[in-house]
Amino acid sequence: MTTIAFLGLGHMGMPMAMNLVAAGHRVIGFDPSPSARQAALDARVEMAASGGDAAIHADVIITMLPTGRHVLNAYRGSADSPGLLSVARSGTLFIDSSTISVADAREAAVLAVAAGHRALDAPVSGGVVGAERGALAFMVGGDGNDFAAALPLLEAMGERIVHCGDSGLGQAAKICNNMIVGITQIAVAEGIVLGERLGLSHETMVDVMSGSSAQCWALTTNCPVPGPVPLSPANFGFAPGFSGTLMSKDLGLAEEAFERVAVDARLGRMARAIYRDFAEGSGADRDFSAIIDTVRSGCTAT
Ligand code: NAD
């Protein structure tokens, strides 16, 4: 049994923590949100009064927080609350599963190692449903021995776990993946709206394209029109799924990365702008495949 401090019991963190408990580990949770605390207590997850109290006896500290700023602040602490790095026992394994920038992930790892600890970035894909089913994909950056030590815990929460390389490369894999998905979801929406206008039915389009070179996840799993793929969010009023807000956030992280390493990602830049507008408008709490509405709204009468 491993003693795990789990910080961030929101949409993702809560089911992940519950899967660790179900696998026989001791999980001590912390979340400042009253509703998250109540949900955790209802689910019989042991709760601490602060992040530091959760961390003090832990072998492993997992963070599942909104942004890189949250992660770095929790690691470093503030004037009124000590940071996780200073209260953890020497050699504690820090695993950050939040989606944050590559630069922030590398900084977090450098800080952890300088304080005498071990660190992995281990962002996930699979969303809330994947977290609930223990079926997440983990993309992991950090030392190979630390990866091996974390593997049994990651396997309690996920099904596909890939060691991507050194610190930050888990986050790198995550944002490259999401940039591709974000772009292809727009491409699928434009193709389908064009087909509609030319007189094709949705069923015919998906039938043709799913067996041709346009085949992709955005079409055959996250199909943005109801009907051809019965479980896609379009059949449920675009209930996420993966919200426009989260896609906009991830494309912002991708943009930060491609600008820093001077990659001319023109489609990535356009997709970033499109999802930012979408998230600020009707897409905030809808699955990102509802971007098809943005495409339709730009069409003029024929
Ligand atoms: P969420 O907002 O539901 O949960 C985050 C939780 O962190 C909140 O409950 C918040 O109160 C808590 N928190 C903030 N500061 C804290 C601190 N110092 N200590 C302890 N807890 C603190 O967000 P989420 O949807 O669970 O996402 C978490 C992370 O996972 C994000 O980085 C997100 O981008 C990423 N992610 C989300 C999804 C998804 O589908 N929701 C999928 C993949 C990755």
pLDDT of residue 63: 98
60 lines ligand 1 (CB under 6 A): no
pLDDT of residue 301: 80
pLDDT of residue 288: 97
In the chain, CATH 1.10.1040.10 covers: 172-297
For residue 27 the two structure tokens come to 């999980």
pLDDT of residue 171: 98
86-142 confidence digits (pLDDT tens): 999 999 999 999 999 999 999 999 999 999 999 999 999 988 889 999 999 999 999
Q: Which atom of ligand 1 is nearest to the CA of 74?
A: 18
290 lines ligand 1 (CB under 6 A): no
Distance in Å, CA 97 to ligand 1 centroid:
9
pLDDT of residue 140: 98
pLDDT of residue 39: 92
pLDDT of residue 96: 98
Distance in Å, CA 6 to ligand 1 centroid:
12
72 lines ligand 1 (CB under 6 A): no
246 lines ligand 1 (CB under 6 A): yes
pLDDT of residue 37: 94
pLDDT of residue 129: 87
Mean pLDDT, the chain, whole residue set: 96
CATH code 2.130.10.10 for 3-166: no
pLDDT of residue 44: 84
Judged by average pLDDT, the poorest of 37-41, 189-193, 250-254 is 37-41
Q: Which atom of ligand 1 is nearest to the CA of 12?
A: 26
pLDDT of residue 300: 86
Which residue puts its alpha carbon closest to atom 13 of ligand 1? 8
pLDDT of residue 241: 82
| Residues annotated as part of the active site | 174
- With a cut of 90, say whether residue 5 has pLDDT above it: yes
Q: Which atom of ligand 1 is nearest to the CA of 240?
A: 40
In the chain, CATH 3.40.50.720 covers: 3-166
261-286 confidence digits (pLDDT tens): 999 999 999 999 999 999 999 999 99
User: Average pLDDT of 144-152?
Assistant: 98
Which residue puts its alpha carbon closest to atom 30 of ligand 1? 98
Which residue puts its alpha carbon closest to atom 38 of ligand 1? 127
CATH classification (class only), 172-297: mainly alpha
For residue 193 the two structure tokens come to 């709206």
- Percent of all residues in the chain with a pLDDT value above 90, rounded to a whole number: 92
Assign residue 241 a region: left if phi > 0, alpha if psi is -120 to 50, beta otherwise? left
Confidence band of 240 (pLDDT split at 50, 70, 90)? confident
98 lines ligand 1 (CB under 6 A): yes
Distance in Å, CA 104 to ligand 1 centroid:
16
- With a cut of 90, say whether residue 12 has pLDDT above it: yes
184-234 confidence digits (pLDDT tens): 999 999 999 999 999 999 999 999 999 999 999 999 999 999 999 999 999
Q: Which amino acid is at 167?
A: S
User: Average pLDDT of 25-43?
Assistant: 94
Q: Strands, E, within the chain: which ranges?
A: 3-7, 26-30, 46-47, 60-63, 93-96, 118-121, 124-125, 136-141, 158-165
Distance in Å, CA 10 to ligand 1 centroid:
5
- With a cut of 80, say whether residue 30 has pLDDT above it: yes
- With a cut of 80, say whether residue 302 has pLDDT above it: no
38 lines ligand 1 (CB under 6 A): no
Q: Which atom of ligand 1 is nearest to the CA of 33?
A: 11
Contact residues for 60 (Cβ-Cβ < 8 A; gap 6+)? 2, 3, 4, 5, 92, 93, 94, 95, 150, 153
